[in-house]
A and B are shown apart, each in its own frame.
Chain A
Amino acid sequence: KQEVTQIPAALSVPEGENLVLNCSFTDSAIYNLQWFRQDPGKGLTSLLLIQSSQREQTSGRLNASLDKSSGRSTLYIAASQPGDSATYLCAVTGGFKTIFGAGTRLFVKA
């Protein structure tokens, strides 16, 4: 059974800091891994999608890496801004199921 763990559960950083969010999964037989952002009371916004054959994806200040063999992914956020404050969720898809981690709640202080 696939299990997805995100560390840390919560993070508070000053504006401008670079930061890393971690995601680990137990079953490496995945199709892809996605990182999502969720604002309070809202749905999910897809940030980055990494296919199983890829090692990383970049979008603006965001960079996500995938190491299937070790069951790990990281989301790197450069030069953080108060507008980045949200919950970040990673999800792995495999065997026609998408399983989520519990998320990392990020607060960027101005």
Chain B
Amino acid sequence: DGGITQSPKYLFRKEGQNVTLSCEQNLNHDAMYWYRQDPGQGLRLIYYSQIVNDFQKGDIAEGYSVSREKKESFPLTVTSAQKNPTAFYLCASLLTGANTEAFFGQGTRLTVV
């Protein structure tokens, strides 16, 4: 079945460590997105990519990095520069252009220990 897969579901990070969250889609979508959600809050855009080898910063990109080497994959690295990384992270994809629907993975919950 087509869809978006995020892994791992739960991730624990020590202070000062970088960690990478995986997002893979087999929907043949051009655009992929990373969002962060804090308790009781909506989703805020971290980074997005419209095509392979290209990506743009969203509203809260500081302390994060991404790559888009393949259409199917859009990994997010949470660096040690991100001072408050504990949150729920959601990945999404959609076809570029009009009349399209965003599809979401099931999320990764990152906790700093």
Interface on A for B, CB 8 Å cutoff? 4, 6, 31-32, 34, 36, 41-44, 46, 49, 51-52, 89, 91, 93, 96-103, 105
Contact = CB atoms under 8 A, between A and B. Distances in A.
Interface string B86-108: 00101010101111111111110
Between A43, A46, A100, the greatest number of chain B beta carbons within 10 A of the residue's beta carbon is seen for A43
Interface stretch (B14-22, B39-47, B63-71, B74-82): B39-47
Contacts of A6: 42
Given A96-B50, A100-B43, A101-B42, A41 B104 contact: no
Contacts of B58: 97
B90 A44 contact: yes
Given A32-B100, A100-B42, 10 more contacts: A43-B107, A49-B101, A51-B99, A91-B43, A93-B94, A98-B94, A100-B43, A100-B44, A101-B42, A105-B40
Interface residue SS majority, chain A: strand
B96 A32 contact: no
B94 A43 contact: no
Between B104, B106, B109, the greatest number of chain A beta carbons within 10 A of the residue's beta carbon is seen for B104
25 contacts: A4-B42, A6-B42, A31-B97, A31-B98, A32-B100, A32-B101, A43-B90, A43-B106, A43-B107, A44-B104, A46-B102, A46-B104, A52-B98, A89-B42, A91-B102, A93-B102, A96-B31, A96-B50, A97-B58, A98-B33, A98-B94, A99-B45, A100-B35, A101-B42, A102-B41
Closest 9 CB pairs of A and B: A102-B42, A43-B106, A100-B43, A44-B104, A31-B98, A43-B107, A100-B42, A49-B101, A98-B102
